[in-house]
Amino acid sequence: MSGPVPSRARVYTEVNTHRPREYWDYENQDDFQLVRKLGRGKYSEVFEAINITNNEKVVVKILKQLYQTLTDYDIRFYMYEILKALDYCHSMGIMHRDVKPHNVMIDHEHRKLRLIDWGLAEFYHPGQEYNVRVASRYFKGPELLVDYQMYDYSLDMWSLGCMLASMIFRKEPFFHGHDNYDQVNTKQGWLVELSLAPLLHSRKRWERFVHSENQHLVSPEALDFLDKLLRYDHQARLTAREAMDHPYFFPIVKDQSRVAGANLPSGNTAVGTANMITGISALPASTALGPFTGSPVLSASTNVLSTPVAAAVGAPQ
Is-contact 47 204, C-beta < 8 A? no
Sequence-distant (6+) residues with CB within 8 A of 218 are 168, 169, 206, 210
Question: 30 — phi, psi (to 5°)?
Answer: -65, -25
Annotated catalytic sites, by residue? Answer: 98
Question: Nearest-5° angle of CA 231, CA 203, CA 145?
Answer: 25
Q: What SS3 class is residue 113?
A: strand
**N-terminal to C-terminal alpha carbon distance within the chain:** 56
61 assigned ligand-binding residue = yes
Q: Using CA atoms, how far apart are residues 267 and 257, in angstroms rounded to an integer? A: 12
Please name the helix (run of DSSP H) or strand (run of DSSP E) that holds residue 194, with its range, or none.
Answer: helix 180-196
Feature table: binding site for ATP:
61
